[in-house]
Amino acid sequence: MNAPFALLTERVRLADLRQPDEVARIEGFVAALNGQVFHRPAWLRAIERGTGQRGLGLVAEKGGILTGWLPLSEVHSPIFGRMLASSGFAVDGGPLADRESTSVLLCRAAEELATRLSCTTIELRGGIAPERWVRRSDSHCGFVKSLAADDDAELAAIPRKQRAEVRKGLENDLEIAISTRAPEQAAFYAAFSESVRNLGTPVFPRKLFEAVLDELDADILTVRHRSHPVAAVLTIYHGETAMPYWGGGVRAARGLRANDRMYFELMLHARAQGFTRFDFGRSKTGSGNHAYKKNWGFEAEPLTYSSWTAPGESSRDADPTSSRHAARIALWRKLPLPVANRLGPLIARGLG
């Protein structure tokens, strides 16, 4: 006779993400617990396809019933070392479970897994971690709000100063295109790669964006001026939420108010597709992007991130605002764009 469910032992094991039934079971669990897109095995698969960083994860079970899930990307970098990230290249993730004790159990199993894989760091972008892990709630903020009822209400909901910038963008000779087709992918990469080079950041591999568009519900909105792409954004859709995840513009975009036009058009497009929430993504607390999103009327919500470092090892530092990287960033901004685009993916695939 089987023991009552409450007396059964909760166990953690490595998920077999090669098995369709296992993947479907985890996807169902994520949906049932209202997890983020970054909890989905599909996200791990896209990251692995696009960067080569292996997707894996831990499942907790009790009496054959799934009780918890921790998605992980095994990230290797010759510059920043080896880590397990939940989730890789994500702004959210971490253990997903009904009970805090299950989340802690998953984290402890992750410590053992990290040791076996020679990963000196574990990073959780959200979720509950053991007390002895390092937690921070002051480094990044998220920005989410509901979309308005119609186009006019959407414009009126933007604070006056930012609304004036949007109106200037609406008056300029700009063309809007929304698609997942190859021309929009090329336009997006041209605008995005120049934007991150100007910020001193290596660009991600182009195949990462291709994989995300293929594996998830996502599209690209491009703003052109006289047929030239000046701004573009790749948006991921999950549940009721539209999330502009990667975006940027060339230097001419600012004068044209192309970014302002881009995000406003995206809000209209998202509502027309039936989405009710707009997630403006995370920003470094106190940064220019943080202020920009507040100008749109979004409230900053502190994000809690946790990390574990193996005993005797130094904590991982891939923060672009760190003084350690200031000279590298200044040098990267001076690179010719073709050189930055050739070297960037080799570095960025290890950022995680």
Q: Per-residue b/e over 326-347, b at no fewer than 16 CB within 10 Å?
A: eeeeeebeebeeeebbeebbeb
Domain that includes residue 44, residue range: 5-137+304-316
pLDDT at position 194 is 94
- The reply to whether omega before 179 is within 30° of 0 (cis) is no
Q: Are 149 and 286 found together in one domain?
A: yes
Clarify whether residues 133 and 171 are in a common domain: no
pTM: 0.92
218 belongs to a structural domain: yes
Q: For residue 327, is it within any domain?
A: no
Are 194 and 309 within one domain? Answer: no
What is the rounded distance in angstroms from the CA atom of residue 216 to the CA atom of residue 348? 21
Q: To the nearest whole number, what is the mean pLDDT of the chain?
A: 93
Tally the domains of the chain: 2
- Residue 35 sits in a domain whose CATH number is 3.40.630.30
Tens of pLDDT, residue by residue over 218-247, are: 999 999 999 999 999 999 999 999 999 999
- Residue 322 inside a domain? The answer is no
What pLDDT, on the 0 to 100 scale, is given for residue 323?
66
Cα–Cα distance, 120 to 80 (Å, whole number): 10
pLDDT in tens, 258-306: 999 999 999 999 999 999 999 999 999 999 999 999 999 999 999 999 9
pLDDT, one tens digit per residue, over 313-323 is 887 766 666 66
Judge whether 326 lies within some domain.
Answer: no
* Residue 25 reports pLDDT greater than 60: yes
Task: Assess whether 131 and 152 both reside in one domain.
Answer: no
Q: Are residues 279 and 148 in the same domain?
A: yes
Check residue 2 and give its pLDDT.
46
- Shared domain for 174 and 294, answered yes or no, is yes
pLDDT > 70 in the chain, percent: 96
- Asked if residue 325 is part of any domain, the answer here is no
129 & 161 share domain: no
